Amino acid sequence: MKGFLISLLVFALSSASLAQSKVVLQHQRRAQKQVEISPDQILRYKLKDKTRHTGRIQSFNRSEIVLMQYDSSLVTLPIDEIELISDFGYRDTRWLEPFAYVAFGAAMTLGATPLIWAVGGGEKALEGLEFAGILTAVSAPPLIIGSRPRRYKLKRWRIDIK
């Protein structure tokens, strides 16, 4: 019985130390709308005094967040002072690569237009410009949508520690 109680106590203490709290952004009007911030996620923080910090969350408590910046320095941000949290867009951007190649093709076509004009004449150059326009029209919308950052204004969101 004594061994069972000791093993139960060890299990309870070890599971309590493994159960880390998490930083969650929760919408103020829609409680079911939540965004969990993972510790390896790099975010930008804008404070009320207009200073900006970028980095990963090193540690946190109910009143402050400690960030590790790129130069391995630590910055303490009071949660009351944070005005805006922004993400760098989609975490997985591999799906944008084909559209980037198409946009590169459009840029190459624009660069080659004077050469086409000199060799093939004005009609061929206009065809090349039309082709570059079509490539740009196909590639630009996904690249713009896929690379824009997500922003969480803390007027509408609040930081919860769960």
Q: For the chain, which residues make up each domain, given as ranges?
A: 21-91+149-161, 94-147
Give the global pTM: 0.60
pLDDT at residue 4, rounded to an integer: 52
pLDDT at 42: 84
CA neighbor of 113 nearest in space, from 131, 91, 86: 131
pLDDT value of position 7: 47
Q: pLDDT by residue for the chain (162 residues), tens digit each? A: 555 545 444 444 444 434 457 888 888 888 888 888 887 888 889 999 999 998 888 888 888 888 888 888 899 999 889 999 888 766 677 888 999 999 999 999 999 999 989 998 889 899 999 999 999 999 999 998 888 778 888 888 888 887
21-91+149-161 to CATH, choices 3.40.50.2000, 1.20.1250.20, 3.40.50.300, 2.30.30.100: 2.30.30.100
